[in-house]
Amino acid sequence: MLNVIQAERLKWRRTFIPKLTWLAPAVALLLCAVLMGGSLFQSGSYNWWYTLFLPGALSLACSLALLKDAKLKYRSLLALPFTPGTLWTSKILACTGWLLTTLAVFLIGVTAGGLLFGQSIPLWNGLAGSVLIFLTFLWQIPLCLFLAARFGLFAAILLNLFGTVLGVVEFDRGGLWDYIPYTITFRLMCPVLSILPNGLPVPADSPLRSTDMILPGTLVSLGWFALLFLLTTLWFRKQEAK
């Protein structure tokens, strides 16, 4: 499996994906440094990162990871001596590695910026927030790969960003919205980073500061990841018969 993942990553060399790993967090941090700076740098950077830049960059990375194979209708991919399930899993794991790397780049950058402009979010909170963002964004990888395969690059990006905007608007609605994966990251960042999705601080007496939803929200997100992993793998297996 490691060789398959490595081969998958080798195909990225002449794509925008490697540059996107550091460019997406760099642009988010630079914009916040220029437009905000000071005590608002870290909170603004985190807010723009998980509500805008990361969803867009992840959608683009997944779409580009699939683009070359999709143009060839997966003939070159399916000709390899591996099962379709293994090939699809390698794509998901390669994109998972990309997500983890770009989150690490952002965490290093926002921490360094905090030393320069003033630290408003403790390092441990930032680390916990980054881990939760990673766990609650995993489900987007199989979804974005599937959307890119079925509808193309731009449609995948637009559909995922539409879901993200919907999550920002409805994150505190409660009820069934607590189980919609697009809302979970924004709700979990409230007690961990003390930031609302609109960038404002969470009021001291707000129930959104409660940590009770962190574990259930994370488990629901991982459940969505497992479900989408299974469904998209079954879908990809059918491509072999076409």
pLDDT tens-digit series, residues 151-170: 888 999 999 999 999 999 99
* Torsion of the alpha carbons at 200, 204, 205 and 209, rounded to the nearest 10: 70
Average confidence score pLDDT of the chain: 89
Helix axes 54-71, 84-117, angle to 10 degrees: 150
pTM of the entire predicted model? 0.93
* Percent of the chain clearing pLDDT 70 (strictly above): 91
Q: How many CB atoms sit inside 10 A of residue 97's CB?
A: 14
Task: For residue 36, report the phi and psi dihedrals to the nearest 5 degrees.
Answer: -120, -75
Q: Which DSSP string corresponds to 159-191?
A: HHHHHHHHHHHHTT--GGGGGSHHHHHHHHHHH
